[in-house]
Amino acid sequence: MPAFRLCDVVLDETIGRATPDVEHERAVAIFDLIEENSFEPVGHTGGPYRLNLSLMDSKLIFAISTEDGKAVATHILSLTPFRRIVKDYFLICESYYQAIRSATPSQIEAIDMGRRGIHNDGSQTLMDRLSGKIKLDFDTARRLFTLVCVLYWRG
């Protein structure tokens, strides 16, 4: 049975490095994504797949290949539907990182609940935008949305 999963994820490194907090988010998201995901390019017979994520001209590029490097598909998404969500997510993440250093546990928990809610909105938007192109489960979409944010932060 074909494996509809990711075996590798690469972020466009030409954008440069980010803050330690952002780089940590990236590393955790990639590790978690590789460990457990559901990723099925519509119309393809099976993987596992390699995904190269990049930004070009305010567009998000999903370049998908098989584990042995054969091209499967490239999907280009406008970042416009993500702008407000990503901006809100950045703002609440800044508050969260500041709160970790000085706030009470209940304040940190409240900010984190808001952060997760915005993250869920972004994940659902990503699933909607990839509908008909790539079938994902929600946890895979969440991890991919984290990587989209990392690219956006660095871009």
Nearest residue to 152 (alpha-carbon basis) of 99, 77, 95, 97: 77
* CA-to-CA separations, 118 to 4, 77, 98, 115, in angstroms, rounded: 27, 20, 18, 5
pLDDT attached to residue 17: 64
pLDDT (tens digit per residue) in 40-72? 999 999 889 999 999 888 899 999 999 999 999
The residues spanned by each domain of the chain are 6-154
Per-residue tokens: 110: 């409240």
pLDDT at residue 63, as a whole number:
97
Distance CA 57, CA 79 (A): 10
Per-residue pLDDT of the chain (155 residues; tens, 9 = 90+): 568 999 999 988 766 666 777 778 788 889 999 999 999 999 999 889 999 999 888 899 999 999 999 999 999 999 999 999 999 998 998 898 899 999 999 999 999 999 999 999 999 999 999 999 999 999 999 999 988 888 776 54
Whole-prediction pTM value?
Answer: 0.88
Alpha carbon distance 82, 78 (integer Å) = 8
Instruction: To the nearest 10°, report the CA torsion of 72, 127, 13, 28.
Output: -120
Q: What is the pLDDT of residue 155?
A: 47
What's residue 154's pLDDT?
57
Rounded CA-CA distance 93/74 in Å is 30
d(CA 61, CA 51): 10
The confidence score (pLDDT) of residue 12 equals 82
Whole-number pLDDT of residue 43: 93
